[in-house]
Amino acid sequence: MLGSLLLAGSRVPLVRRAVSGVPLTRKVVDRFVAGETPQDAVEAVRRLTGAGLTVTIDHLGEETRDSGAAAGTAQAYTVLLGALRELDLGDRAEVSVKLSAVGQALGADGDKIALENARRICEAAHAAGADVTLDMEDHTTVDSTLGVLRALRDDFPRTGVALQAYLFRSEADCRDLSHEGSRIRLVKGAYAEPASVAHRDKAEVDKAYVRCLRILMAGGGYPMVATHDDRLISITELLADRFGRSRGDYEYQMLYGIRTDKQQALAGAGHTVRVYIPYGDDWYGYFMRRLAERPANVAFFLRALGGK
């Protein structure tokens, strides 16, 4: 119930102003967000890759309603990728892109604008030896996102995409996309979706995640297993063994600032662990989804507000 309320609040302007206006909110945001500038993001990249981890970087923002702002987001990614090129990290550093931030939400021409801006980002990533993964947003954007993905893969076949296990459709999408060379990030899902399109019960979401994971592990693609759940990590290892996958045939992905001890333990055991690094000043929606995911995050927030 608390998670649903927080997700609903993530789209209410009055709640946004209230949360953003609390000075101590920044103290908590710093746990989940690397900073506001490209330099902040690059510093986090240096630190994490130096510790044996890999990274994917998200320039925060979503649901852009202005074509100039969408182009500006694409430009921010090209600047960031230019900085990553100087680090010569190759595919140890990639970027994650929300299509709604680069034009998808701009009416009838949204898909075309998003594709053009995403293509610019892919070109910059290719020059840096890096990859691009398309984030998935609420269920109304799935078909559009997969359409842009197909168009991008004509020229940039390593473009990845996130699929959300809690959506009823995702098992079929996993089957469609689990082919040779396809990079798929599997997440549980972090949007407030109606019961008509998504599982709402946590146990059912977990079961759906395992079903999707099994499809990806059995397929020919490259699964990117985005979870902090020890039980799901154990199941991943069992499925990898069952389907003959080595540790280079899949990877784990975890969020910046969450379960850093587990990130290091898995990397120390020889797994590829990719940390999702968000940066930028438009942090509100991302922050609220992180609070909604785990009660411990809410408790951390409240302790910070209380000065403890």
User: Does 228 count as an annotated binding residue?
Assistant: yes
109 is catalytic: no
Annotated ligand binding at 188? The verdict is yes
Q: How many CB atoms lie within 10 A of CB 281?
A: 11
Distance between CA atoms of residues 71 and 305, nearest Å:
36
d(CA 102, CA 125): 16
Are 101 and 66 contacting, i.e. CB atoms less than 8 angstroms apart?
no
| Positive or negative: CA dihedral 209, 211, 214, 218 | negative
Two tokens at 70? 């969408």
Structure tokens at 306: 């209380």
User: 3-class DSSP state for residue 104?
Assistant: coil
Q: Work out the burial of residue 257: count CB atoms within 10 Å of its CB; fewer than 13 is exposed, 13-18 middle, 19 or more buried.
A: buried
Query: Annotated binding residue at 288?
Result: no
d(CA 206, CA 149): 26
| List 58, 135, 138, 206, catalytic entry | 135
- Is 136 assigned to a binding site? yes
Which one of the listed residues 92, 119, 185, 274 is annotated catalytic?
185
Ligand-binding site membership of 107 (annotated): no
In sequence order, what are the residues at sequence separation of 6 or more whose Cβ sits closer than 8 angstroms to the Cβ of residue 101? 59, 61, 62, 63, 64, 70, 73
Do the annotations mark residue 202 as ligand-binding? yes
Q: Is 189 annotated as a binding residue?
A: yes
* Ranges of H-type helices in the chain: 2-9, 13-20, 25-32, 38-50, 67-87, 110-128, 142-153, 170-177, 202-218, 230-242, 260-268, 284-293, 295-305
**CB-CB contact of 46 with 87 (8 Å):** yes
How many residues appear in the chain? Answer: 308
- Residue 66 falls in the annotated catalytic set: no
Binding residues for substrate: 98, 289-290
Binding residues: 98, 136, 164, 188-190, 202, 227-228, 289-290
Binding residues for FAD: 136, 164, 188-190, 202, 227-228
Residues belonging to the active site: 135, 185
